[in-house]
Amino acid sequence: MALERKLEDVSVSVQPAPVSEWKALVNVPEVQESKDTGLLDDTLFAIQQTIANPTKNKKNAHHGNTYADLEAVLAVVVPCLNERGILLSQFPGKNELWTRLRHKSGQWRVFATPILATKPGPQPYGAGVTYARRYAICAALGLTQEDDDGNTDAWLRAAGQAAAEKC
């Protein structure tokens, strides 16, 4: 039977989709920014040199891992941004969350993050918005946190450990 074949008889090649195809799949536009972003970029660079990762303050009851919730992320990020003249704004749309970083000089950057809800309704949508807000902020600033649902596969943890050992 085909199902009883040995693993070495099966050849699998996984190729990531090109970015252009990925954007079409999730309907995420290019990052938009002001014509000049030098001051914004310099300020974000300075922030990245000093900002701490958010404290993991919540435990996922389903998976048992810990993560930093939105409040913990904002408690770290907003004071650092505001002290250096950057305003963080986030605007949820129907299918995406728009995140804007605006420097006091007028320079800005806006990007979209898909809002993924598990089912229709206001509560799943709200959870999707919260999740997107947390991940968009961390991605924009290069912060890390433990994923509260995507980091639970053993192979992913093993791959991360192997990569860390090479550093």
pLDDT of residue 64: 81
Does this model's pTM top 0.85? My answer is no
Name the residue among 90, 109, 135, 132 with its Cα closest to residue 30: 109
Distance in angstroms (rounded) separating the CA atoms of residues 127 and 43? 31
C-alpha dihedral, 58 to 61 to 146 to 160, nearest 10°:
150
Residue 14 CA from chain centroid, whole number: 23
pLDDT at residue 145, as a whole number: 67
Residues 6+ apart with CB under 8 A from 154: none
How does pLDDT run along the chain (167 residues), one tens digit per residue? 343 444 344 443 334 445 555 455 555 557 899 999 999 999 999 999 999 888 888 887 877 888 889 999 999 999 999 999 999 999 998 888 999 999 999 999 999 999 988 888 889 899 899 999 999 999 999 998 655 444 444 444 454 444 444 43
- Check the CA dihedral 127-142-26-64 and report its sign: negative
pLDDT of residue 56: 87
**CA distance linking residue 123 with residue 94, whole number of Å:** 14
